[in-house]
Amino acid sequence: MRLPTIYFCIIERFESLLEPEREPCGWRYAVLNKTVIDHLRQKVGAGNVYHEREDLLVYGYDATPEIAGFPDVAVFPENREGLQAALEVSRREGLAVTPRGAATGLSGGSTPFQGGMVLGLTRMNRIREIDEENLTLTAEAGVITVDLFNAAAAKGLFYPPDPGSQNVSTLGGNVAENAGGLRGLKYGVTRNYVMALSGFLYDGTEFHAGNKCVKDVAGYSLRDLLVGSEGTLGIITEVTVRLINPPQDKRTLLAYFRDIRTAGEAVSKIIAARIIPATLEIMDKTTINCVEDYAGIGLPRDMGALLLIEVDGHPAVVAEEAEGVRKILEEVRADVIRQAANAEEAAQLAAARRTALSAVARVSPTTILEDATVPRSRLAETFAEIERLKEKYGIRVATFGHAGDGNLHPTAVTDERNREEVARVHAFFSDLYEKVLSMGGTVSGEHGIGIAKKGYLLRQFGEGGIGVMRRIKHAFDPDGRLNPGKIFLDEGIPAGSKIPGETNG
């Protein structure tokens, strides 16, 4: 205990009397001139504008390794007027604008790669309405995903999308990245729940897309274009999502396997038997051990893989499906099959699975994770390919993911200081994506392209597909100021911005 605290306070008081007010450091207004900052402070609120180097430094990253930018200013409007004012300033000053939620993204989507303005949405975080007649919820973009879930649950309703970072991620970020989660297999991803969006285009023009109607075929679906647009088309400030009835019952099964390929086989068989669990997750040996190091919930350290399976719905269906899953697990000779004792244990297991990526980061300083997704019938094959390539490039890879979605997260554990090994890691992923695409897969199941996967997108879509995307981008943002440098490989650097990675000062 720090009783003598009193004395430290005396020191503090004493010091403040003796020391003159510190002069603002020279670099403070080095980039944007003071008038611009003052104007922003006046329009958005003094406490909502950051321009000191220490602040800018921490608004340069998200959860993607090796990638960080350095903005000129970070602005956190509390309302639409403030946001509009910030956009106006950015337009006048020719600043790039990078929208930012909680910056938990895994493809660099919210990093201000080319400097400019970081537009934080976390202070627009009100839940506007829960419409129990239309079963919708309307909230501002900065609402935390789990808060939205809880608000719906308080009314006896259910918002299924549950990305791993749901305790911190924002609704706006989820929509911009079209986030998935553990329940994607049965309930779909964020897109499947977005009914309406509103926000602002690059020039401050307000837009509304979608509505509360179940059916709507009026014009192009701007809503669907904006979901997953990674902040490159518009700034989303408000979202209306669809809510559903929560499942009446659920049951969680765990299966352990000595060989990960058997686990892959089990997944394919479960789907082929037309059983759609809410959750069907996989972890390999490395992941199991890392998660166990953190969570300490008694996972088997010596097993090659683990499947976490949750079936939910009407009690009769749950019983039938659980039985069906169990039969398949026995058929493929899973080494251990067990059922979670109670809801608490089930929740504990799901929570542990959510920590997988961060827990894997225990092993080494850098974790480079990918997001390969294949048709589910090709899962076992993909596992075999990961094993083969791992050997070929001599790197360590932990694999976990949403097996039921065919969405795997092979994660290379490396050290970014070891450039040679990192190069091998990138070669590994390059080969893996070649294979994934040849199987009819996609280079990103749920993390988005951002910066990290720009190179792979062309392989998947070819010049034709990319060309269309470019024209769409141009139609929304002709100046290329919204989140520049993302998705497309050779996006020009707007005037007035800095070279990526460069810091001022």
Partner 1 sequence: MAEQCLSSNFHPEDAPGYESILQCMRCGFCLAVCPTYALTNRERSSPRGRAALARAVAEGKLEFTPAVRDESFFCLDCKACSTACPSGVRVGTIMEFCRSQAQVFHPPSLPAGMLRDFILKRMLPSPALMETSMLPVRLYQRLGLQWAVRRLGINRFLPDTLAKMEGILPKLTPPLRMEIPEMIPALGKKRGRVGFFLGCAMSLVFPEVSRQTARILSRQGFDVITPKEVKCCGAPHLAEGDRDTARRLARINIDLFLSLGVDFIVTDCAGCGCALKEYEELLEGLDDNKRVVRFRAKIRDISEFLAEAGIRTEELRPVPLTVTYHEPCHLVHGQGLSVPPRQVIRAIPGVELREMKESNWCCGMAGSFALKELETSRRILERKLAHVRATGADALVTANPGCHLQLAWGVRELGMKQPVLHIVELLGRSLPTGPI
Task: Choose, by CB under 8 A, the member of 33, 38, 42, 58 that binds partner 1.
Answer: 58
Q: Which of 141, 145, 139 is nearest to 100 (CA)?
A: 141
CB of 67 to partner 1, least distance (A): 10
Q: Is 8 in the site for partner 1 (CB under 8 A)?
A: yes
- Gap between the Cα atoms of 306 and 323, Å rounded: 18
| Window 98 to 117, contacts with partner 1 (CB under 8 A) | 102-104
Q: Where are the alpha helices (DSSP H) in 239-314?
A: 260-272, 285-295
CB of 350 to partner 1, least distance (A): 14
- Gap between the Cα atoms of 316 and 249, Å rounded: 9
Amino acid at the residue 384: A
Q: Which of 83, 99, 79 is nearest to 204 (CA)?
A: 83
Task: Choose, by CB under 8 A, the member of 31, 37, 49, 50 that binds partner 1.
Answer: 50
Comparing CB distances to partner 1, the nearer of 37 and 233 is 37
486 close to 98: Cβ distance less than 8 angstroms: no
Q: Is 499 in the site for partner 1 (CB under 8 A)?
A: no
CB of 351 to partner 1, least distance (A): 10
308: β partners: 254, 281
CB of 177 to partner 1, least distance (A): 14
494 close to 113: Cβ distance less than 8 angstroms: no
Q: How far is CA 244 from CA 111, 192, 474, in A?
A: 34, 11, 36
CA 413 to the chain's CA centroid = 19
412 close to 397: Cβ distance less than 8 angstroms: yes
Comparing CB distances to partner 1, the nearer of 284 and 321 is 284
Q: Is 54 in the site for partner 1 (CB under 8 A)?
A: yes
Q: Quick one: which H or E segment has residue 206?
A: strand 206-210
379-393 vs 260-272: helix crossing angle, rounded to 10:
160
DSSP category for residue 29 = G
Q: Is 149 in the site for partner 1 (CB under 8 A)?
A: no
Q: Is 297 in the site for partner 1 (CB under 8 A)?
A: no
Question: How many C-beta atoms lie closer than 10 Å to residue 346's C-beta?
Answer: 20
Stretch that binds partner 1, among 19-27, 153-161, 219-227, 255-263 (CB under 8 A): 19-27
CB of 384 to partner 1, least distance (A): 28
Q: Tell me if residue 482 falls in helix, strand or coil.
A: strand
Task: Choose, by CB under 8 A, the member of 18, 154, 217, 341 that binds partner 1.
Answer: 18
Stretch that binds partner 1, among 87-95, 96-104, 331-339, 448-456 (CB under 8 A): 96-104
Q: Which of 101, 90, 96 is nearest to 112 (CA)?
A: 96
Comparing CB distances to partner 1, the nearer of 106 and 253 is 106
Q: Is 49 in the site for partner 1 (CB under 8 A)?
A: no
Q: Which of 74, 51, 37, 227 is nearest to 141 (CA)?
A: 227
Q: Is 22 in the site for partner 1 (CB under 8 A)?
A: yes
Mark 124-143 with x for binding to partner 1 (rule: CB under 8 A) and - for no binding. --------------------
| Window 346 to 365, contacts with partner 1 (CB under 8 A) | 355-359, 361-362, 365
CB of 81 to partner 1, least distance (A): 19
| Window 66 to 85, contacts with partner 1 (CB under 8 A) | 76
Comparing CB distances to partner 1, the nearer of 50 and 393 is 50
254: β partners: 308, 338
- Binding residues (CB under 8 A) for partner 1: these are 1-15, 18-19, 22, 25, 50, 52-55, 57-59, 61-63, 65, 76, 102-104, 122-123, 144, 165, 167-169, 290-291, 293-295, 355-359, 361-362, 365-367, 503
